[in-house]
Structure 1
């Protein structure tokens, strides 16, 4: 049986992860299927690509020589698919969106509800992750990002700035006097991230010198951190437009100049002329210009 592009992609996954099991999880295939792909590829090429052992799959010298070629072949195939998607004229089909936890769980469903009623021929696939989806690898068709995209070959559109503030629930402030200075802020229960450094960097840019140890409640899940503020655990950062939806939240140190989050939409340049993707992107650009206007969260 001749090898196929799928077998080459399996080869890449095994090279990347070093085991059949890990590669199978990435590819959403069974472990025996991944092993069969490698066997077929080796039989077709007449060379051994890996040595098998307790430590996993190790590239042979000949297998290592083929990694660069495999990457070129896979990259060309992805480019072919992107260009083909960009030439697609029909509206019906799927559009895959990548967004962070706050938007994906609390905002996006409400924003796209009306769109899906009007355009029932379009299926929306939502990838909720704080990791940066690789649009070049077709992880998503459109990405909603809180920073300006810098990857080459991307079309990026800035939608708006999202003002930020520090907030606490009234119940917390009933037990604790609201801080009036930055120095007093450190005497309060602060809600922040656990391992991610982004929030600490944002505080530093606002002139607040905090370390991980200054946060009494630490969590890298943005939705959990948001609900910690709403539960009255302590003080934490929120988008001001979102916080306004909850009247029991009080802004802390409103004079504090916290840099806003930039809201961007991005897609690969090859698919910018795809009518379906362009339709969804234009809709999102309009709705996300004031993301909290028509949402009940």
Structure 2
């Protein structure tokens, strides 16, 4: 049996969107048309590819087997398109980058702006989400993560270590007794993540502070930094974010100094696509340099 690439494209959209309507938005087709195309593909293959339920469309075992080959076909089509277009030295097309909001707010804008200046035909999109980006559903083409994923057909490269410290707003610290021990933190409001919305164990800093609770909490690093800039209490902040908040001061640096790591995650097959490989290398170099530059300012 010969499969049509257009049918595989519809199959991929449903597998990633888990519904006909989500696939239709991506493909710019009405859901009924998407449903007919999936039914036709299932007839051609002689196997149900999706399990239908009120929650949506989930892949069957046959669908999961087809997904691997459909993604390989997608990557082959992309490589072929780029080969026919030729290489002029510049990069073009749309690439979506998913990242935790700290990286997305304080590192990626500078790095992506530099890439766009060098390659004006490229379209870079930053998806800033306080959760793990799902590459399997193509929420993004590339993802920045704080823990390497344990499963999936993915390639993972270490980008850079980064550092975090306890900070407080300068006037706030001047108004209160000196904080010389970790135990002193208990006398102050603490800013941090909403505990049940911490999406990665590497972001759980509460145990480092000997604090029983978070007084002001958000699932967004930017909101946390806003609390701290307003003198609302003490909290953990990225060193690379501190140049954007010059009224914050590090404290207890000899007692509380955290190191975490950023990783670049992408689909294994995308490494063979020249455009994706080149953008990945530009991101690696740019983010490493930007972390080092900003941390040197603190």
1:38 aligns with 2:35: yes
Q: How does 1:113-192 map to 2 (within 5 A)?
A: 113-192=113-192
**Offset, 1:57:** 7.6
**Offset, 1:294:** 6.9
Question: Secondary structure of the equivalent of 1:165?
Answer: strand
So what's the TM-score if we normalise by structure 2? 0.75
Q: What residue in structure 2 maps to residue 290 of structure 1?
A: 289
Q: What residue in structure 2 maps to residue 28 of structure 1?
A: 25
Question: Secondary structure of the equivalent of 1:97?
Answer: strand
**Offset, 1:168:** 0.8
Going from structure 1 to structure 2, the CA distance change for 1:203 and 1:85 (only over 3 Å counts) comes to: farther
Question: Secondary structure of the equivalent of 2:166?
Answer: strand
Q: What residue in structure 2 maps to residue 278 of structure 1?
A: 277
Question: Secondary structure of the equivalent of 2:31?
Answer: helix
Question: Secondary structure of the equivalent of 1:76?
Answer: helix
**Can you list the C-alpha shifts for 1:73-122, whole angstroms capped at 9, x where unaligned?**
33421222134435644443222211111222333122222221211122
Does the CA contact (< 8 Å) of 1:95 and 1:276 recur in 2? no
Q: What residue in structure 2 maps to residue 202 of structure 1?
A: 205
**Offset, 1:244:** 4.2
Question: Secondary structure of the equivalent of 1:147?
Answer: coil
Question: Secondary structure of the equivalent of 1:163?
Answer: strand
**Offset, 1:276:** 1.7
Does the CA contact (< 8 Å) of 2:13 and 2:26 recur in 1? no
Taking the aligned partners of 2:26 and 2:155, their CA distance within structure 1 comes to 32
Going from structure 1 to structure 2, the CA distance change for 1:225 and 1:199 (only over 3 Å counts) comes to: farther
**Can you list the C-alpha shifts for 1:143-174, whole angstroms capped at 9, x where unaligned?**
12222343343222212210110111112213
Going from structure 1 to structure 2, the CA distance change for 1:43 and 1:109 (only over 3 Å counts) comes to: closer
Gaps of 5+ in 2: none
1:68 aligns with 2:61: yes
Question: Secondary structure of the equivalent of 2:165?
Answer: strand
Going from structure 1 to structure 2, the CA distance change for 1:237 and 1:83 (only over 3 Å counts) comes to: farther
Taking the aligned partners of 2:192 and 2:99, their CA distance within structure 1 comes to 20
- What is the CA RMSD across the aligned residues, in angstroms? 3.8
**Offset, 1:220:** 0.8
Question: Secondary structure of the equivalent of 1:228?
Answer: helix
Gaps of 5+ in 1: 18-22
**Can you list the C-alpha shifts for 1:180-230, whole angstroms capped at 9, x where unaligned?**
2222211201001112244773343x4x4444xx11101112211111111
Going from structure 1 to structure 2, the CA distance change for 1:261 and 1:95 (only over 3 Å counts) comes to: same
Q: How does 1:31-110 map to 2 (within 5 A)?
A: 33-38=30-35, 45=43, 56=54, 67-85=60-78, 88-89=82-83, 90=87, 91-110=91-110
